[in-house]
Amino acid sequence: MCCDQITVNDADFQELAPVLSKYGDIKGSLISILQQAQDIYGYLSLSTINYISAKTGIAPAKIYGVATFYTQFRLEPIGEYLIMLCQGTACHVNGAALIEEAISEHLNIADGETTEDNKFTLNNVACLGCCSLAPVMMVKGPEGEETFGNLTKESAVKAIEQIRARG
């Protein structure tokens, strides 16, 4: 398939069309396009990358290279709730590794993995900018983002169970 024309269905990407109309012809806007595509679809699928390529003229390999270079981009679907666990200096010295261990054991996943029920994805992040709350995690879900600070192993697990109980 390397040399064949990639076919894409515009109907599958209606939500992305306004983004490409706005940024598609602007040189240097690929990261903005990828960020917004990921916001719309939750991750960057191969078909999304191919669609962006077809509409911008940027080679799929270049788009994939950018998407894999920057850790902010995901190439796999995530759970309904994305747990972003801070690993910055303040969180590290205040026990972020213990919090990660508790979450990993409780959900039976490691960093970058999603639970079997697709409810939670754990993602270690460099810094959430909430150093006074260290250790801290932010959970992004359908209701928005929630921040949980001054975590202990027990309070981290309790927060996750409260989120799970919502439905």
Q: Tell me the pLDDT of the chain (167 aa) as tens digits.
A: 344 445 567 778 999 999 999 988 889 999 999 999 999 998 999 999 999 999 999 999 999 999 999 888 999 999 999 999 999 999 999 999 999 999 999 999 999 999 999 999 999 999 999 999 999 999 999 999 999 999 999 999 999 999 999 87
Q: State the Rg of the chain over Cα.
A: 18
What is the Cα–Cα distance from 62 to 102, expressed in whole angstroms?
38
Q: How far apart are CA 67 and CA 161, in angstroms?
A: 32
Residue 81, sorted as left (phi over 0), alpha (psi -120 to 50) or beta, turns out to be beta
The structure's pTM equals 0.76
* Residues 6+ away with beta carbon under 8 Å from 118: 77, 79, 80
The residue behind tokens 């270690």 is: 124
What are the extents of the domains in the chain?
10-69, 81-165
Read off the DSSP letter of residue 7: P
Instruction: Tell me if residue 24 falls in helix, strand or coil.
Output: coil
CATH code given to domain 81-165: 3.40.30.10
